[in-house]
Structures are given as structure tokens and as C-alpha cells.
Structure 1
Amino acid sequence: MARALIVGGGIGGLTAAVALHRRGRQVTVLERAESLEPVGAGISIAPNGQRALDVIGLGDTVRELAAWQGPGGMRTPGGRWLARTDSAATARRFGSTLVLLHRATLIELLRAELPADAVRTGTPAELTDPGDVDRPATVSTPTGEEQAELVVGADGINSAVRGTLFPEHPGTVYAGFTTWRCVVPSGGREFAPHETWGRGLLWGTHPLKDGRSYAYAAATVPPGGRAPDSELAELRRLFGSWHDPIPAILDAATAEQILRNDVRYVQQPLPAFHRGRVALLGDAAHAMPPSLGQGGNQAIEDAIVLAHHMPGDADPGPALAAYTADRLPRTMDVVRRSARTGRATTVRSRAGVLLRDAMIAGVGRFGSSMMLRTFDGVLDWQPPERTYAARPDGR
């Protein structure tokens, strides 16, 4: 049985492991962290990500976790609605609505689809040989070297696998803003999901199915900064006077729950998403700003397309070339769209904000369908095949 080593046990890596396992490969996930408990908060699974998960039999399970079926939209810091969106309109245009859930929930769903011994935590891995048509790829771990017919680099935005494959690539660049994220109890409060855009500032709040709320924020600040007291205190300074339920969300949070990260992305495309017998996916290949909520969805798409192209025991070279041809143009288009949206959300000048808000309100007057058109070509993606979830031989 052909073997696949997946370096990284995040959402993209685990999806790849499940998809390759269903294709009949022996999979081993090598995760540096001591557990799969993700250091993260919420994630939005869009219709394109849900269709990708359909291929491995998890799409409907995720859809059942949708917490909100109704209106939402974009607001000003004072609470005025700039534009309204509607989950039913999203479903009509793209086949389903967005599903917000905790990253840990999706990690657990994916892990449950793998054999008990498929995931090895506390195992840092270094790619030492990408392999070729005549030899397998080699990965070094604390317990020795391991070889496989296929290695998948799913080790995130600071990917060491990417650096080994393409040492000449400049890596990631700062997107111009920093984000904060948290998941807090909602206290029984009900509210419509929203994003609120200010001057160089953004806030988003979304209900989760389990009764908690996922909140995120962004600000145009220099990279590498940290609050002098706590990140929660910083959020109160920036957003404490904004509309309800933002102050209540901040009151429900603790300083330990706040995650702060500078946003970096792959501005210059890689020459390919593979080399030798190694494939890159997710942030390792095409890290993007979170402005369209597509980072995790594109990683899931990557995993499904990679497994689709993989042959049995044959040289994976042609299949990896086909994977690059499928994924590199699409993902870099989403990267560029995300970067443009990120720049729009964090406009700092008063005149720029007035112009931006007027344009959003103008589009919003035409209803949800006009707003949703901006996601054409992203959320309407279809997987290369419908499902192989139930195939006993994985073929």
C-alpha cells in the first residue's frame, strides 16, 4: 500500500489525510504540537468548503452546525446597517449558507475519520529529501528518518517544507493589519451576525451553534506590536464604544482568550505547489488575508483535489503537476481578492471611509443578490468528483 506522510495536523492536513486514506493510502500525520487542540477560534465553512467536505462524507454534518438562518450584514461603529445579507439568498445563489463553528469541532470531526494510529502528535518533522521518480521522499523526525511515496506539506504560514522546496521564494509579506480573535459565552443574547467597518478598524461577531459567540477584530497597526497591558484592554480601547453587542462581547471575554496575530500572506506566487514527491497545501502554499474567510476553505479544496489526482502506487509526478495546474491559479486569485478586500476594510482616511461606506450602501440598496455577486467564482466552486466517502476500496 502506498504511503503518505502529512506534515502538519491542522484542518488542511487532516482533510488531506482523510481523503488520501479513503483513496486507499496508508497515511501518517506528523504534528509538532503535543495535541490536536487547535490554537485558534472560529472558522467559517463556506459553500465551496462544504462541497469539498461532501466528497469525504462530512458536508452534511457540518451544515447541521449552522447557527443562524436569517439576515446579517455590514454596519458602522454607531450601529447603522450599511448593507444587509440573508442566509436564504446565499443558499439560493451558492447552494448552502455559511457555517460558523469552532476550529476544534472541525478538527474532531476529521480526526474521527482516521485510524487511531494515523496521527502522531509531539512529532516535529523536517523534509530532508523531496524524492524523485526513482526514490521516495524522506522526512526526519526525532525517532529517525521516514520515507513515503508522497509527502504533503501542510505546516502552515511559516512552512518549513515550503522553505526547503523553494528556498529562493521570498515567503510572506505583512498585509498591513493585525487581527484579534476569541470565542466567548453569549449569555443567551441573540444578535444578527455582522461585520462593522470603521476607520482602519473592523469588528465581526457571529453566533455559534453551541451557544457561544465568535468575535474577531482587525486594525491597521505596525507589525510586531503588543498591548502594554493586555490585548483585551487594547480591544476595549479600540472598540469599547461601538454598537451592541460589541461591548457585551468584550465584557464576556477574558484576557487569556484573546489571540492576536499579524496578518501575513503569500503575495508572490510559488513557481509550483509541488516538487519531487512533495505537495504543498493550505497556508503553506498560498497563505491569504482572512478578509473573505477563505483560508480554511481553500485548504480543504486543496486536500480534496490532491487526493483526486493521486494514482495508486505509480510515480506521483504527473498527478502533482495536475494538482498544481488546478490549484495554483485558483488559490492565487482568491489571495488577490482577499488582499483587495482587506485594504478596503481597513481604510484610514475620513474621505476614504465615507466613499467606501457610500459605495457599500449603494450596492446594498439592490439587495443581497448584488452583494453576493462579489463571491462569484469563489463560493460556486465544484469538486472534481461528488464523493468517494463510501467506497470500501478507496478508489
Structure 2
Amino acid sequence: MSFLDCSCISHTSFENIRVEDHYNTVSYHCLTNEPAACSLSKTPPNDDMTVYSTDISHYQLLSELGRGFCDLSVVSLARHRPTGNLVAVKQTNLDNCTEEQLGVLQNEVLQTRMFHHPNILTSRTVFTSSSKLWVISPLMAYGSAECLVKTYFSDGMSESLIAFILYGVLKGLDYLHRMGYIHRSVKASHILLSGDGRVYLSGLHSLYNMVRDGKRSKVVYDVPEQCSTVLPWLSPELLRQDLHGYDLKSDIYSLGITACELATGRVPFQDMHPTLMLLQKLKGSHCCLLDIHPFPLEGLGLKVSRSGVDSGIGESVAASIIMRTMTGERPQSPAPKNFSVLFHNFVKLCLQHDPEKRPSARSLLTHAFVKQVKRHTKDSFLTLLHPAVPLNNPQVLAKAAQTAAGQDSTTSPDATAGAWEF
């Protein structure tokens, strides 16, 4: 079985994949004549400049973080022995992949070589060992936004944390859209957070390049591979598959669904039968944030915090005091939800049924809901992640070390790891 149309898979040894020799569709000037190795020679600003080796003995696999790509890929927490750095290692058994799946992997490896942006997760080193494809990436210590919601914020994140996450996603989307790519798989499991609070957009296997033969298409008719796993996030026009096609605005709809996912801990349409979901989306059923207003706070300029942390949008200690007073000190579980007008407006713009009415990613970067991010520091957003524990925490690493020493190698060192998807 071949990969990338080359004989780089050996049953006894491995070597680097020469991606430049096989990438024939160069869309933009950002591709350069780089060396044959798949290690990135350029990295985003403020990123670790370490070039990782292609010797599998240099990687100590500590524990499994999650699975992805139709359960064919295993993502593991690993330590790079020569440097001591923690990394994420994704291994995919190519012998178990169909020809279509090999094509998807090929596109992911080749296309991501083009991207150099601080909010796009790209691999550092790609190589093969026997029949396994190894992809080495920086460790995202807080995992995915989905696993954070499932583990720590089951009732939804605070609005400031959501704004911070969506701001990073929008910057990544704006970059991809300007390059002529549609992501087609924007969802919480493809949003990763590093230990220092940076937001990365992953899930690049569904990318579609709108530039063909030097010309940029206005619309696309292609259906993404494994689209059944992302149905709730897909836009009506993509699902419709008619002569009108879809374009970059399809990602904006997916962003709106993701915003609801982060805010409520639930994905709109997820519990519906696919046929009913399709009918609901095609007829333009309005999807929005669902609030519970136990009492009016508009006149006070306050809103109820659901996360226990000040969201920075009209939330204060005074709001919690009023809540305790008016409810007779009774615990609220789950806490009442009262989203800000700005957040409602942001989601409404993203989920417009008519794609022409949806703003672009660049336009949304100027929306008041996400602009509030500029008023906060990195440390304040790390505080908003409390009580989430990063994977590079000493206690978590100690558990991982015990796993690597002889316990079950599939045991996850932390609850956040279970929902990783790359």
C-alpha cells in the first residue's frame, strides 16, 4: 500500500515524506522550495522552534489522549527524549485505510505545509515507520474545547472565555479564507488550547481549496469526506447540494453552531435524526441561544454568571449577591443562563439562513463581542479556564509516567483527554 504516491513505507525502516515532490497544485506564493523533510522550517511567531527527529526511539509514549479520523488515528501524549519536551503524537495505521482515506491524509499532510499562522495547528514532523504514519505536533495542554466543556463546563463556558476562543478561531479562519480554503469542519473538538492559553484551529483534513488551475471558484459543490460526523455543524447550503453550491460563509454558520456548543454544553441538532435535521435546516428553522431569565437584570446592567468566573460582560459580584438574596440562598443547579445582547447578536449573524447575509470572518473580528478580548490579559484567560488542569501539570505527568512504566498504555492521565480529535 502506498501513501503520497511514494515508496516511503517500509516494513523495517522509515524515512521522511518528501511532500514538496508530490504537491503539484500550488495556489499561493507562500509555498517555497524547502528541504525534503517534513519538519517545518517556519513556525508561527512566539512558537517553539524545536525541530523534532524522525527516530521513533526518541519518543516516549506516555498515554493515549484520544482518537480521530474514523477511529483510525491514535493521539498520544509523548515526551521527546533528546529535548525533554512534551508533544502530541498521532499515529495512523495506513494498512487499515481505504484509498479515499489515504487521499484525505495525503491532502492534510500536503496542504498544511503551506500554513504558517499562530492560530492554525500544523505538524512539526511527519514520517512513516513500517506501515504507520507519525505526525508530531506541539502539545495542546488544555486539550480541545469540546473536552473542556464535557469535563469542566457542562453547563457552558463564561462569555469572556467563549469570546477569547472564538477570537482565535476567527483569526485562523480569516487566514484560511484569504488563502482560498474552506475549513468545513469547524467545531469544538477541532479547537485546541495550549498550556499558555493560545487557541489553535485543527481538523484540517476537511479543507477544500477553492483555487483550481490558477482560478478561484466562487462556489463549491464538493461534499467533505466523513461529513456524517459533522452534520450538526454543517450549513444548510452545504447540505442542500444544489446548483447554488456553497462558499466561505459555510464556515461562519459552523462557527455559530460551535458558539452555541460552547455556551450551553450541547450541540444544536445533535439529537435529531439526520433526515429531520436536514429538513429543519433547509426550511430555515431558527437556531439560537436558549436563555432562562429567572428575573430581569437589564435595568441593573448585570447578567448571571454560569461558570463561577466573572465573564467580563456585565457580570460582577453584585449579580451573584442579588441571586443569592432573591433565591433565599438556595443553590442553583444548573445555574440560570442569561446571555448578553452582544453574544446573541454574534450568534444570530453567524446563523443567518442566507449565506449572503452572514458576515465574513474578518468582519466578525471587529464585532463588539470578540473585541472585548483586547481588554484582557493572557493570565486573566488562564484564570477563566479554572478548574481545568493542563496535561503538563506535574501531578498529571506523574500519572502519565506511571502509565508509561507498565500500567495500561491506553489509560488517559486526565479526564480532559478523552474527547481529543485531530
TM norm. shorter chain > 0.5: no
TM-score range, shorter chain: under 0.3
Which is higher, the Rg of structure 1 or of structure 2?
2
Return the structure number with greater relative CO, CA threshold 8 A, min gap 6: 1
Name whichever structure is richer in strand by fraction. 1
What is the TM-score normalised by the length of structure 1? 0.25
TM-score relative to the length of structure 2: 0.23
